[in-house]
Each structure stands twice: as C-alpha cells, then as structure tokens.
A = this chain, B = another copy of it.
Amino acid sequence: MQNFSFKKPTEFIFGKDVENEAGSYLKKYNANKVLIHYGAGSVVKSGLLGRVEESLKKEGVSYVLLGGAVPNPVDSLVYEGIELCRKENVDFILAVGGGSAIDSAKAIAVGVPYEGDFWNLFDQKAPVGKALPVATVLTIPAAGSEASSATVITKMSNPPLKRSLVHDAMIPVFSLMNPELNYTLPAYQTACGVVDMTSHVLERYFTTTKGVEITDRLCEAVILTIIKEAPIAIKDPNNYEARANLTWAGTIAHDGTVGVGRMPDWGTHMLEHELSAMYNVAHGAGLAVMFPAWMEYVYEEDLDRFVRFAENIWGIEHKGDKKETALAGIKAIKEFFKSIGMPTSFEELGAKREDIPALIEVLKINTGGSFSNFKKLDMEDARKIYEIAAR
C-alpha cells in the first residue's frame, strides 16, 4: 500500500426533497451572492430550478442565473460565467445539474479569482490559487463531480482540446442529492452514467500497487452494487431504491474512497476524451467502447488482477487457465454494457476507423506522447487500442 492523505470535506445531504434545502445550506456556508449555474432546459421545465430559487428567496440569499451548460462543457460559457460573477460580485456558485453543469461551475470558480485567461490553468501555464466555493444540486449520478476535486472542459479550438484540471479548491462544499430527480432521466442517459461511474472504479481497480485488499474490496463492492441496480433503474425509472443506490455509488466511485493507497490508471479516460471531443458523444458511451478494448490490449500485463476481476465481480469460476478466465471477465463487462443499451464498438458509437490518426494526433498533444500506469502506453499502443474498438 502506498502512503496517502485523504480528505473528503463535502457535506452530503441525501434523500427525498433535499433540493429545497439549498437556501438554508448556502446561508450556513455564508454565501452572499450566488451564481446558479445549470444546463439544459429540463432543469427549468421540471420545476427544479423554480424550487431551488424559491428556497434561496425564502432564506434571503440573492442570486443570478446562468444556464446553457452542455455535455462536454465548453470554454465559451466558462468565460461568460467568469465575467458575470465579477460583474455581480458573486461569492458562491451553486451548480444545478449533472457533471456538465458542475464541471462548468468549477471552471468558473477557479477562473474568477485568476486574473489571466482561465485556460492557462487547464494548460498548466499557471497554478490554481483560490476558487469561489462551489456547491451542487445533483440531477444525474455519473461524473462524481459532486464530490471530486476535478473538472473537464473542452476548448473549442480546431481540433477541440478536452482537458481536465484537479485541485482541492474545487471540491464542493456541499452537495444536495435527491435520487427522485433522476426519475426523468432517459434509459440511455442513465446507462451512460452507469458506465461512467463503473469506469471511475475500474481506473483505480486496475493498478500496479500490490497489497491493497481494503480498496480492492471497496472497488468490488461499488461495481457489484451498480451491476445489481442499473438494470432495475433502467427498466423501472421511478424505483427509488435503485436510483438511490446508483446515486451514492456514483459518489463513492469518484470521491477517493475506492482509490486510497494505490496508483490509479486513467488511460481509458484519456483515450475516451478524444472520442467525445471529436464526435461530441456522451462520455459514458465512449467509455463503454474504450474500456473493453483497453482491457483486451493490456490484460496480459497482470493476469492475476484480471482473474480476480472475473471471479469477484462477475462470479466467473476460475478453472485454472488464467487467460481464459481473464477473457471471460472482459467478455462479461462488454455484455453488461451491451445489456444496458450501451455501444461497444466504434461503429455503434458513430466513430470512424479512418479518424484514428487524427485522434492520435490530439491525444499526443494532450498526453505528451505517453500516459497510463497499469501498462505504460505510447501512441502506437493507443492506435492499437483504438483499432480493437474499431474492429
């Protein structure tokens, strides 16, 4: 086990109707002027935004609104949010939505106190200093952004650049999580979230660190929960228990709990980022295609790890041939993704084999030419993994 430090300062308020407490929690955390940042019209149409506004008014907390956050959130709205916050003397940002609205809110939060172009922070030209405090009302369990220190923003240059930024200053102060808000999520979007949270665990599970039984078991616990609850939530969207279990699984998957003491991988996320940047496909759908492809390429690096994955997560009986068991595990996760309606190939995703060189080109810019930990990957490895996905 590696040395680690772990701090999870977010206050989670979880359950039915908790969105109505937005105002009182903002007051508790000394917000004076809030930017409520949200995405799609669904937050407006469903009445959620109205309820949140009402709770702020009730507590006398003043605010301004900024909608329009899109999946794979883009730099233009971040610039707009930064300007608005400065003009309105905003001192607290409340994101209402899923990972996109929260990630966009986090980028605004670090951008406001930084005097230069906020993209410098994502470009590692400048370090993150301070950030406005961020809180969330979570509507989509998936990205884990309600508890994480990370954000991913796409710069709409040509080619688009998708970059992540990680800093403790962006960890939400509090997150209001009502699983009922997920009832209206379409099956496809629910499934994308399921793949996203599963992937957050897998990026940590496939590690070169030995002797970390506790986080191995915690990883397995979260994925076993997801495998049980996802089909229920997709078939019966108003099933509170299934939605609640998935929602909390999504948080645990990415708040550090399942990652302490070990070296994570993150290779598949990097491979996927280029897909969603180029085709604007949902991150979860891209991961459903890339994770099995990555596994197929790297599994012989540590057969025992893949045997454990097959046995403890998929209940596959290991009869002695490690390669056979490992491949059965990879087949099982691919079938699970397929069973919840996810694509598992370039074709189903709408990606094209002939674009692989272009994908590699941007990947090289974003990674500096090598990345990942479970197996160190270079651009030739990446090409082969994309080829497996395009098969």
Contacts and interface: CB of A to CB of B under 8 A. Distances in A.
B2 A6 contact: no
A72 to B, nearest CB: 28
Given A1-B241, A11-B5, A15-B3, A217 B225 contact: yes
A94 to B, nearest CB: 17
A257 B257 contact: yes
Given A218-B221, A224-B217, A18 B3 contact: yes
A212 B14 contact: no
A9 interface: yes
B14 A260 contact: yes
A248 interface: yes
Nearest to A252: B214
A8 interface: yes
For the complex formed by this chain, how many copies does it contain in all? 2
Counting chain A residues whose Cβ lies within 8 A of the other chain, the interface size class is 35 or more
B11 A245 contact: no
A229 interface: yes
Given A6-B14, A241-B211, A248 B222 contact: no
Contact of A14 (B5, B220, B224, B245): B5
A10 B211 CA distance: 24
Contact of A248 (B18, B210, B240, B261): B261
Interface string A2-46: 111111111111111010000000000000000000000000000
Given A13-B5, A248-B261, A260-B14, A217 B222 contact: yes
- 5 tightest A-B contacts by CB? A3-B15, A211-B241, A217-B221, A221-B221, A7-B11
